Structure 1
Amino acid sequence: MSTDLVPEEKGSSLLPAGGRDLDRERARLLASVLAPDATSGKLIWWPGEPATKARPRFGAGGKTYKTDEDTAAEVATGWQLRRAFREPWVGNVALGAVFFRSDRRRVDVDNMLKHICDAGNGIAWVDDAQITALLGFAELDAEHPRTVLVVCRHASSLDRSPKQLAGVAR
């Protein structure tokens, strides 16, 4: 059974169209969707082409490894996150991102989100298993590629406190 959830309206969008001047409004709207009852949140913004998580590589004996380029990109993103987080948050986290790409090359949003999730481990959150709400958008801005990231506390029936995470097999 299929039902339309939202009536189609011309020009309606979660994210306002426009340039960098609307990034704060985009972040506010994204946070309100991800974690409407959040008591705290952060907006992190940085310029440059959004990074994406590369496919794992397979070495001798079938062991997987990351490329040097993937590792360097995670470290760079980690430094961006360190600007906003003095220590990793514990408990449930909501994460939303708008990735403004400079071209129309095919890049999967889930791989860009995975890159952020992995880069934030031990910096913004203890472990990405704490992320209980996740939303990403890919947009085009040829002149100003950038990443707009929103991180909020998230109320969820799935408890991701340190005590609960310790019992989760990985």
Structure 2
Amino acid sequence: MSFDRTLDGSALFRICFVCTGNICRSPMAEVVFLDLVKKAGYEGAVTVMSAGTGDWHVGEHSDSRTIATLASHGYDGSRHRARQFDPEWFDNLDLVVVFDRSQERTVRSWAATEQDRGKVQMLLSFDHEQAEQVDVPDPYYSDAAMFDSVLGMIERSSAALFRQIEPGIRQGVS
């Protein structure tokens, strides 16, 4: 999860989580999803990364509340460095997961093809129980309780997403 991490072209599945500044929601999702991948034994088969639509925080660590919230739930988000999404990544990605409608509009507007626009999906859409909420709130201007709430939403939706893609990964690995 370094700032200069690149996509592994040999991976069976490549996913990028994209929020606004890449310091709260998307780093949480990257860490959570990578944990699911590792626990399932699919390291090398799945590439997980995150980015932001904006460049305000490029090179910075995640927000300290993000790191603290992840740590309190057994995750290590300390190595993350924020980066901005590059539309050239679309060719090497299978899925681009966003957290709210604003990010969805922005990232889809950067897509050069209908196929790439189709790669952009809302995180909560993967979890039937949360899908009606549509947006994952940005905890940046809120308190620690909101960071915990957002992490819970991300964990549930990430688990649902992983359950959906895991059969294809398992088939490709075996």
Highest CA radius of gyration, 1 or 2? 1
- By the TM > 0.5 criterion, same fold? no
TM-score by length of 2: 0.30
More relative contact order, 1 or 2 (CA 8 Å, 6+ apart):
1
TM-score by length of 1: 0.30
* Richer in strand (by share): 1
